[in-house]
Amino acid sequence: MEIGNNLGALRQKRGLSAVELSKAAGVSRQTIYAMEAGTYVPNTVVAIRLARALQSTVEELFPLPEDTGGAETRDEKVTMLAGSGTPQPGQTVELCRVDKRLIATLPSMAPWYFPASDAVVTGGSAAKTGVRLFHADSNFEKRVLVAGCDPGISVLAKHVQAAGVELVLAHRNSSQSLELLREGCIHVAGTHLRDEVSGESNIPEIGRVFRKNAVAVISFAVWEEGIVTARGNPKSIRELADFARPDVAIVNRETGAGTRRLLDAGLKKLGIGSGQVRGYDRTAPGHLPAAWQVQSGMADCCIATRAAARVLGLDFISLVSERYDLAIRREHLDLPSIQTMLDTLSRSGFRRELEGLGGYDIRGAGERKL
């Protein structure tokens, strides 16, 4: 596959010399010239450094052929599968051609199927648990263990799998994910912890958890968080102050979740105590599970992402935009599987699909923040 090359044009546009750019990328001046001539293709780390130095993206520097043909989208007429419910604009569907008809079904938000698995537990303790592998020759070298709470990471997993790498996704909130990374139990921690003093996403919190230069921070996306209500907003909920109304019941997130911190900070500013909010102590383990409780009528509202509201056909009132980042131990950055994952963040196919879910700004995906 022939890769495009805009490195020379962007370097000149930014007014940088080859020497200046080589220092930023950690390579020689001759290597810069070789890359501009197309005789040398940089690895992922160098490509990211180049993109940062040129205030660009890896994809803009080295576009793939699929970018030259315009957006790969088209409109179709489909038949909704009976029992799927009434679809709302913006909701995602899965498609399958059955004979001459293209059938669409709304994805299930509940795990009605047996999950993918590799082994069965035979006994032992939590620290040392025995398992029996289903396949004795299983090799897990091309897997990356990712903990986080953004449902959009499943989109990245699908695109990474096409390159021969599998992401194993562990659903944990931001605080739990960073703790697991600190303990060396995972490769990647997804986090969206906003510092209320500076307004900065993730970097201050990571600085409190890890020693200096212990981890790299890569941007995944900027997303919107806000109030999710039932379709049509029957309770006329407009702001956090409405959470204190006696006719409004919420579902909250567990301690340590970024959305719970957002709610607590907002209530504190309004002078509203947690005891004044119906449902404050009832929690759901994730954005989609919380939004699902609103859809099912078990709660009137929750704090979650726009994408979670959209996929379930719910209403959304934006409160804040913040960055969701991927924290990676620096010693893992050069692993081929990690490099493949980081490469995928700049691919147009992945970006187009994630952006299509709504509420995601992916222009900075793959940028190094720390």
Q: 45 CB contacts (<8 Å, ≥6 apart)?
A: 333, 334, 339
State residue 69's pLDDT score. 41
CA distance linking residue 11 with residue 20, whole number of Å: 10
Confirm whether 7-69 and 141-370 share one CATH topology.
Answer: no
CA distance linking residue 213 with residue 208, whole number of Å: 12
User: What are the angstrom distances between the C-alpha of 275 and each of 66, 128, 178?
Assistant: 54, 41, 29
Instruction: Please choose, from the candidates 218, 176, 164, 215, the residue with its C-alpha nearest in 3D space to the C-alpha of residue 332.
Output: 215
CA distance linking residue 293 with residue 285, whole number of Å: 11
State residue 211's pLDDT score. 94
Task: Report, as ranges of residue numbers, the positions in the chain whose pLDDT lies below 50.
Answer: 1, 67-71
Domain 7-69 has CATH 3.40.50.1110: no
State residue 70's pLDDT score. 44
Reported as a single tens digit per residue, the pLDDT across 65-87 is: 654 444 456 788 888 777 767 77
SS (H, E, C) the chain: CCCCCCHHHHHHHHCCCHHHHHHHHCCCHHHHHHHHHCCCCCCHHHHHHHHHHCCCCHHHHCCCHHHHHCCCCCCCCCEECCCCCCCCCCCCCEEEEECCEEEEECCCCCCCCCCCCCEEEEEECCCCEEEEECCCCCCCCCEEEEEECCCCHHHHHHHHHCCCCEEEEEECCHHHHHHHHHCCCCCEEEECCECCCCCCECHHHHHHHCCCCCEEEEEEEEEEEEEEECCCCCCCCCCHHHHHCCCCCECEECCCCHHHHHHHHHHHHHCCCHHHCCCCCCEECCHHHHHHHHHHCCCCEEEEEHHHHHHCCCEEEEEEEEEEEEEEEHHHCCCHHHHHHHHHCCCHHHHHHHHHCCCEECCCCCCECC
Instruction: Please choose, from the candidates 149, 306, 289, the residue with its C-alpha nearest in 3D space to the C-alpha of residue 226.
Output: 306
User: Model pTM?
Assistant: 0.73
Domain 141-370 has CATH 1.10.1060.10: no
**CA-atom Rg of the chain in angstroms:** 23
State residue 43's pLDDT score. 80
Instruction: Please choose, from the candidates 74, 109, 114, the residue with its C-alpha nearest in 3D space to the C-alpha of residue 91.
Output: 109
State residue 3's pLDDT score. 67
What are the boundaries of each domain within the chain? 7-69, 77-108, 141-370
State residue 109's pLDDT score. 64
- Amino acid letter at 105? T
CA distance linking residue 147 with residue 187, whole number of Å: 8
Pair of tokens at residue 316: 């959304």
Query: What angle is formed at CA 217 by the lines to CA 214 and CA 220, rounded to 5 degrees?
Result: 155
State residue 68's pLDDT score. 41
- Residue pair 177/190 in contact (Cβ under 8 Å)? The answer is yes
State residue 4's pLDDT score. 74
